[in-house]
Amino acid sequence: EIVLTQSPATLSVSPGERATLSCRASQSVSINVAWYQHKPGQAPRLLISGASTRATGLPARFSGSGSGTDFTLTISSVQSEDFAVYYCQQYNDWPPLTFGGGTKVEIK
């Protein structure tokens, strides 16, 4: 089973600042990584697939990068609506599909 480790667990940022979230895989997953945003009481939202392909309608301030074992989700200028928990997911070697433990982006 491929284990995804996300860091940091919590990221405190001020609106307008840049946020950089990391996801590291226990073995290579090529570019088969997706990122989701999850707010309390809401359904998770797909942001990125294929490590860097933005979902339809996703603001350009969100970007994904990486390949192999190291992946990054960047929010170039955090807006108030971006405070949430972010999960990475690998789909290179499954089953099982696996998610990282999440990074909570909170207001500083």
By CB under 8 A, name the binding residues for another protein. Answer: 1, 34, 36, 38, 42-46, 49, 55, 85, 87, 89, 91, 94-102
Question: Could you tell me which residues are beta bridge partners of residue 24?
Answer: 5, 70
To the nearest whole angstrom, how small is the minimum distance from the Cβ of residue 84 to another protein? 13
The residue among 38 and 61 lying less far from another protein, judged by its C-beta, is 38
Q: What's the rounded Cα separation, in Å, for the pair 8 and 31?
A: 21
Q: Closer to another protein at the Cβ: 66 or 102?
A: 102
CB count, 10 Å around CB of 96? 9
Q: Smallest gap, in angstroms, from Cβ of residue 26 to another protein?
A: 16
Minimum distance from CB of 10 to another protein (Å)? 13
Tell me whether residue 16 or residue 95 sits nearer to another protein (CB atom). 95
* Cα 39 from Cα 53, distance rounded (Å): 21
The rounded distance, in Å, linking the Cα atoms of 98 and 23 is 12
Closer residue to another protein in complex, CB, 5/77: 5
